[in-house]
Amino acid sequence: MVAKTHSMGIFGMEAFPVEVETDLSTGLPSFEIVGLPDAAVKESRDRVRAALKNCGFDFPVGRITMNLAPADRKKAGPMYDLPLLISLLKASRQLNCDTSDAVFLGELSLSGQVRPIHGVLAMACALRSLGIRRLFVPAKCAAEAAVAEGLEVYPVESVPQLIAHLENEHLIAPAKPLPAVDEAGPQLDFSDVHGQPEVKRALEITACGGHNILLLGSPGSGKSMMARRLPGILPPMSFEESLETTQIYSVAGKLPEGVSLMKNRPFRAPHHTTSTTGLTGGGSMPHPGEISLAHNGVLFLDELPEFSHVALEALRQPLENGTVEVVRAMGSASFPSRFMLVAAMNPCPCGYFGHPTRPCTCSPKAVDRYLEKVSGPLLDRMDLHIEVPPVDFDQLAAHGDGESSAVIRERVTKVREIQAKRYAGLGFSTNAQIPDTLFDQFTETSSDAARLLQRTFERMGLSGRAYRRILKIARTIADMDGCRIIDTPHVAEAVQYRTLDRKYWLRNG
Ligand SMILES: Nc1ncnc2c1ncn2[C@@H]1O[C@H](COP(=O)(O)OP(=O)(O)O)[C@@H](O)[C@H]1O
Ligand SMILES: [Mg+2]
Ligand SMILES: [Zn+2]
């Protein structure tokens, strides 16, 4: 007879239903799994066989053929162990119960313990639309699965425990989602940063409008220190944002232990030696890269010019679209990747170009080559540039009297609320994301501000892109001021954050 059991598969972020079919027939003993299984699925045979025997069941004698349908989609990973075992028990009539409204997921140990798997939340979310109610998952993944409401999620520790439940002998209690916790532990605080009021102001604007920012300054000026404090002044994620980001971490197998729903915005700081695949995602069964792990949070590229040209090029499309497409032979997968980019760099190879006291030892050619590495398309996509001056000793030695991150975060949250209200129902929520088609509608300027903008535009020889960046930043500064119409001071301040265009990148032009 043919027995069927429901399971789920995942490709990229996309979960799909999988049916596990078992056919037992007489003949020479054999055990085949078909339906595009990868190596890990093929190994399922040995685990299922051992788990069956060690839990006191008989391994069926004869020809065993198991099929994972649909056969045209690749099945990867060890998560089919449990549904394979259930299907085999049903085909051999060692288990007689209705499982037509149940989905099984889980890896098995040889002794029949059920081990955690990746991507449970994404599969649980997809399951809701399939009309299947009961979900049996590894106990360690149950709280995560329970975040997808509307399902009965059963935490399974072992095969005997599951069988006892299915045979109504000893029921498993359904899981509940854990309360959201601050998974990042104590956050870095802005009150540690002495002085640097201009840089702090620029970072607050960045946080308010969801912008990108480039920090440029000599070594030790505090660029890394301040960049790492940006997540602490961002408002927590909304439920929808949490759900999106948590699914990515779940698929990547990077969800911290004990966390079923992430609350704090992620902060990713990949090293400049990280491969392009590591940054953008990839692999034969595509997995998310750093830019997706930074979704709804911050991607920090420290020492920007050290990143390979290819890697930086690969960031352009995701920066524009908020998603990254990973194309593979098995089909393409797309991952969400809407992040705030924070980049830091020295102004030249030795680090002291433009320093007030230390001389730069680089040749003009070397400085140019260094800056050229990041100029052009990527630089065009940075909203704000800010020079980070070296802190002097007096400031460093002085007692910190700076504002705490909590105070700044409160202001930022208010400005984010203004934007969320204004853009409600339009599919975006921050000034940085205003699409070109709606640009004029949301960047209304006073006539004085418009004149200032025109004069600046002509004097600085700005590109059309830079012009829009200035207006978006001015929009954010106006929101911080509680002004509906963008006025002169807002434009005047916004213009300052584009001056590096002139000072560094247009030195020769
Ligand atoms: N404004 C500042 N206030 C307090 N400490 C600072 C400040 N700027 C730099 N520092 C100290 O100097 C160290 C080096 O700064 P860092 O952020 O690594 O500089 P950069 O990334 O610009 O090279 C920091 O870890 C911090 O201890
Ligand atoms: Mg640094
Ligand atoms: Zn130099």
Q: Write the CATH number for 35.
A: 3.30.230.10
* Pair 374, 294 in one domain: yes
Q: Name residues whose C-beta falls within 8 Å of residue 162's C-beta, 6 or more positions apart in sequence.
A: 82, 86, 114, 136, 154, 156, 172
Query: Does ligand 1 lie within 6 Å of residue 283's CB atom?
Result: no
Which ligand neighbours the alpha carbon of 389 most closely?
1
* Pair 366, 463 in one domain: no
Q: Name residues whose C-beta falls within 8 Å of residue 273's C-beta, 6 or more positions apart in sequence.
A: none
Looking at the DSSP bridge assignments, the partners of residue 140 are none
Name the residue of 200, 218, 225 to mutate for ligand 1: max ligand atoms within 8 A of Cβ. 225
Domain membership of residue 480 (yes or no) is yes
Domain membership of residue 203 (yes or no) is yes
Give the total number of structural domains in the chain.
3
CATH of the domain at 332: 3.40.50.300
Query: Does ligand 1 lie within 6 Å of residue 402's CB atom?
Result: no
* Pair 199, 128 in one domain: no
Domain membership of residue 342 (yes or no) is yes
- The helix or strand, by DSSP H or E, that contains position 300, with its residue range, turns out to be strand 298-301
* Pair 157, 202 in one domain: no
* Pair 361, 488 in one domain: no
Distance CA 135, CA 103 (A): 5
Produce one character per residue of 24-55: b if its CB has 16 or more CB atoms within 10 Å, e if not.
Answer: beeeeeebebebbbeebbeebbebbbbbbebb
* Pair 481, 371 in one domain: no
* Pair 386, 485 in one domain: no
* pTM to 2 decimal places: 0.90
Please give the residue range of the domain that contains residue 36: 2-166
Domain membership of residue 484 (yes or no) is yes
Domain membership of residue 37 (yes or no) is yes
Query: Does ligand 1 lie within 6 Å of residue 223's CB atom?
Result: yes
- The helix or strand, by DSSP H or E, that contains position 134, with its residue range, turns out to be strand 134-138
Residue 296 has pLDDT above 50, yes or no: yes
Residue nearest to atom 14 of ligand 1 (CA): 220
* Pair 446, 335 in one domain: no
Over the stretch 43-73, which tens digit does the pLDDT of each residue have? Answer: 899 999 999 999 999 999 899 999 999 988 8
Average pLDDT in the 427-445 region?
92
Domain membership of residue 188 (yes or no) is no
Residue 263 has pLDDT above 90, yes or no: no
Kindly calculate the radius of gyration of the chain based on its CA atoms and give it in whole angstroms: 28
- Confidence category of residue 494, pLDDT binned at 50, 70, 90: very high
Which ligand neighbours the alpha carbon of 398 most closely?
1
* Pair 235, 380 in one domain: yes
* Pair 223, 322 in one domain: yes
The pLDDT, as a whole number, for residue 243 is 92
Residue 91 has pLDDT above 70, yes or no: yes
Query: Does ligand 1 lie within 6 Å of residue 225's CB atom?
Result: yes
The pLDDT, as a whole number, for residue 377 is 63
Domain membership of residue 286 (yes or no) is yes
* Pair 274, 347 in one domain: yes
Query: Does ligand 1 lie within 6 Å of residue 193's CB atom?
Result: yes
